[in-house]
A and B are shown apart, each in its own frame.
Chain A
Amino acid sequence: MINSNYRKLNQSVKESINGYIFILPALLIIGVFFINPAIKLFSLAYTDYNLMSGKGSFVGFDNFKRLLTNEDFLNSLSVTLRLAIFIVPVQTLIAMIMAVIINQKLKGINIFRTIYFIPAIVSFVAVAITWKQIYNPTFGLANTILGIFNLGPYQFLSSKSQALVSVAITCIWKSWGYFMVIFLSGLQDIPGEINEACKIDGANPVQKFFYITVPMLKKTTLFVVVITTMDAIKLFIPAFTMTGGGPLGSTDTTVHYIWRQAFRLQQVGPATAMSTVLFVIIVVITMIQLKLEGKND
């Protein structure tokens, strides 16, 4: 009895050692390139670190206190929030509907699947630069097309009120294809019998979408929403490439603002404090979302 228990224990220790060996490479990479910098970052938030001389002294919570009255930082949080609120539902809806459309057995449908997926594998910088040209008020494609319908010309990126929506549209264009593929795999997991039963009962496509597809895709949807939300909160490239955060900070996402503070203005202390705050925000939002997901299971 004792012997067999011992053997079991021995075996489980062996197994866990094997397990650790397997995850060691990943752990090392994550440790060196993610956890280590993260710890450094959290500790710098309490200093007035100078990027060039490498010197800095402890300043307590000063960097955090100043954030509360930093209008530009609060503005960047609001910009990020508005971007997320716009992007997450719109993008998820487009991806889901397109997945349903593209899930049909039609001739040549694979070509469309590929075409829609292409933006997802193109570098975001290339996408952003292309869209910047499209949005050009003077000779951009957007105003040319809108001009055919007697609309515009619009200012897009150089207008305080249109810039954020323009950026959001670019982000959605870039990413919806990727999430469409995820929805597509979710759709293919819906058992064929259910669809058949649905057909026999005489449901029309709209009814089928709302009563079969949407509920059956709940798990996939939650996954997509969590990932999209995190992506939206961490947006940097469009602000950096397309607008520089302007006009008047109307597209200044939090990550872009933090980057500017740290590497353009050398305000490493305040910037790391902001990063800490953003980290907490992302953790809280993700926890809420995962909790919702757990409830729905």
Chain B
Amino acid sequence: MRKILALFLSVLIIASLAAGCGSNQPASPSSQAPAPDASSSAPQAPAGKKVTLASFPDQPKDALEAAIKAANLDFEVEIIEYPQNEYENKIKMAFSSNTSTDLVLMDGPNIASYAASDVLEPLDAYWDKADFDDLVDSAKTAMVWNGKIWAAPLNESNTVLFYNKKVFDELGIVAPTKVEDAWTFEELLEVCKKVTIPGERYAIQPQMFSLANRNEGQTYTQMLWLWMSGGEVISPDGKTASGYFDSPESKRGIQFYADLFKNGYATTEDIINAFETGKVVMWTNGPWCIGNWKRDFPDVEWGATPMPRDLRGASGAGSWNIALAKSSDNKENAYKVIEAITGKTGHAIWCSMTGNLPARKSVLSEDPAYKEYPFDIINEQLVKTAKARPVTPAYPQISEALMNCFAEVAFGEDVDKAVEKATKKMNEALSQLN
């Protein structure tokens, strides 16, 4: 009896282990490929060759397909979706084993790291210069590394300071709506002081998520504070962080961020839906929140004001892009797909269907929806204050060091010490590139 029990239990254990190992693998391109109708259109074989694109479920497939459809391509495009959390790992493995799709969706700040690994094809030979100039400046900066263009943006992104309109109305606080009127650090502190109720309500969440989270969204919003005070992360030539991340200007911004926590205006606690439940009054985040609120928190009364400024204004930029794999044997067609999705027509379709912010000036100026509040603020910021994150193959490590530094000062670590540590980490990463 005991033996049978033991056997039963071991089977259970193995079964549970096996369940943990399984993952819903996307169908491999070859297994799913429909038989090409070689009989009907055999002669122009290269022109009809299928293009594959790696994506993940958060990027609406129907919007990609709509943009492709509008371009009337004479070949098939297959969109292969990988599970979101595994996406980066999957494409890295595909590159390393030479089984990459022709096109790959890629997060902006990681482009340089992929390009430096020699797995991408530059787009300079394909992309018309005048059309490239239609991109907003922050998008242009993010696409170029080492003098070459490596990807085309699906869309742009930007950040504003969202606020709880109810609280502001109660306290009679009027938030600016023009970039040139944006709050200074001192003015922001005044507002923080007014809206904070110790132990009950915090004034601001100065980064995208609570500090328990560690992802690019944090860096994306934390970096803004040091840009506002005139600081930079690394040198323009991408060789060092010394004199940039540890400059007095950068430290001023980081100190301001740290003081928000020290003075009790911000918290290191992990409060779920802090803004929506009124526990936090202001929040640095992007316009995608608006859609979420409409859907999940229709009662939230929000307002938006431009990102604050100190020495200068700064707002976030950069989103997902399409890159062409070097190993692709179908580059001509693949570029046509890039053009279909990111060209003027496709871009307008993609942005209107997904609610994303256009990266093209022409689309921004043509669609009246981008002139309505709060997109008027975002539109103005995109042109005036949006700043691309540093473009360097060492970006993943730079981002990690910066995120750790901001978390440390939020938890009360000395700014000089934390900055020194992060600068050292960044320099180590940068020095390995040469």
Give residues in A with beta carbon < 8 Å to B: 48, 50-55, 66, 71-72, 117, 120-125, 136-139, 155, 157-158, 160, 243-249, 263-267
Contacts and interface: CB of A to CB of B under 8 A. Distances in A.
Contacts of A136: 270, 272
Interface residues of B, number: 38
Interface stretch (B9-17, B313-321, B367-375, B381-389): B9-17
A53 B396 contact: no
Contact of B270 (A55, A124, A137, A264): A137
Interface string B408-429: 1001010000000100000010
A71 B16 contact: no
Contacts of A120: 13
Interface in B179-214: 210-214
Contacts of A266: 92, 113, 117, 396
A112 B96 CA distance: 50
A244 B212 CA distance: 8
What are the nearest 4 A-B pairs in CB distance?
Answer: A158-B270, A52-B117, A244-B214, A52-B95
Contacts of B174: none
Contacts of B167: none
Given A137-B269, A137-B270, A247-B268, A158 B212 contact: yes
Main secondary structure of the interface of B (DSSP, over half): helix
Interface in B211-240: 211-214
Contacts of B118: 53, 55
B19 interface: yes
Contacts of A117: 9
Given A53-B118, A121-B9, A267 B397 contact: yes
Nearest to B400: A265
Nearest to A113: B5
B132 interface: no
Main secondary structure of the interface of A (DSSP, over half): loop
Given A55-B118, A136-B272, 9 more contacts: A71-B421, A120-B13, A121-B12, A121-B13, A138-B272, A139-B272, A158-B268, A263-B89, A267-B397
B173 interface: no
A162 to B, nearest CB: 12
A125 B19 CA distance: 11
A71 B407 CA distance: 16
B96 A51 contact: yes
Nearest to A136: B272
B264 to A, nearest CB: 15
19 contacts: A52-B114, A55-B118, A71-B421, A121-B13, A123-B19, A124-B20, A137-B270, A139-B272, A243-B212, A245-B214, A246-B211, A246-B214, A247-B212, A248-B407, A264-B88, A264-B396, A265-B397, A265-B400, A266-B117
Contacts of B272: 136, 138-139
A52 B92 CA distance: 6
Given A48-B432, A243-B212, A248-B408, A54 B96 contact: yes
B73 interface: no
A158 B397 contact: no
B227 to A, nearest CB: 23
B266 to A, nearest CB: 13
Contacts of B117: 50-53, 266
Residue among B9, B89, B212 with most chain A CB within 10 A: B212
A158 B213 CA distance: 10
A53 B9 contact: no
Contacts of A124: 20
Contact of A158 (B88, B95, B114, B211): B211
A66 B431 CA distance: 13
Nearest to B114: A52
Contacts of A48: 432
Nearest to B326: A53
Nearest to B425: A72
A275 to B, nearest CB: 18
B85 to A, nearest CB: 11
B119 interface: yes
B271 interface: yes
Contacts of A243: 212
Contact of B212 (A50, A246, A263): A246
Interface in B334-353: none
